[in-house]
């Protein structure tokens, strides 16, 4: 099996639920606490590719810094640069397994990367 990684915030209930679901299935994902170890711009670009979504799908637009930075009309490149600088903007949790990735909202979606 490929390396199973969960972009994770331990204070987020959805992150904890996704982790519990993966563990209940006998999986031990590598936990990437993205607030402690923010993804690089290259890693974010790879997440966009794996997810097959526009960069805006990775953004938590309810975070105060989203409004502070005026990101409502930002380009994909500007959004990814903002996430790299302000990792609290990253949507969570994100499960990655090889060439498969999913934003696990709801948490049950994390199981899709196992198929």
Q: Which residues are catalytic?
A: 12
Task: Give the H or E element holding residue 33.
Answer: strand 30-33
Largest distance between two CA atoms of the chain: 42
- β-strands 30-33, 94-97 pairing: unpaired
Cα-based torsion angle of the residue sequence 90, 87, 61, 52 in order, rounded to the nearest 10 degrees: -30
- Report the SS3 class of residue 31: strand
**CA pair distance 71, 62, nearest whole angstrom:** 11
């Amino acid at each position: 099996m490929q390396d199973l990684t969960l972009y994770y915030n331990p204070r987020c209930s959805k992150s904890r639920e996704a982790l519990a679901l993966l563990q209940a299935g006998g999986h031990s994902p590598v936990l990437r606490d993205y607030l402690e170890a923010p993804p690089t711009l290259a890693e974010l670009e790879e997440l966009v590719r794996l997810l097959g979504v526009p960069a805006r799908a990775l953004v938590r637009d309810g975070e105060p810094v989203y409004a502070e930075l005026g990101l409502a009309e930002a380009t994909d490149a500007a959004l990814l640069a903002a996430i790299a600088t302000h990792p609290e903007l990253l949507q969570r949790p994100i499960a990655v397994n090889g060439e498969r990735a999913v934003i696990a909202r709801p948490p049950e979606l994390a199981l899709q990367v196992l198929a």
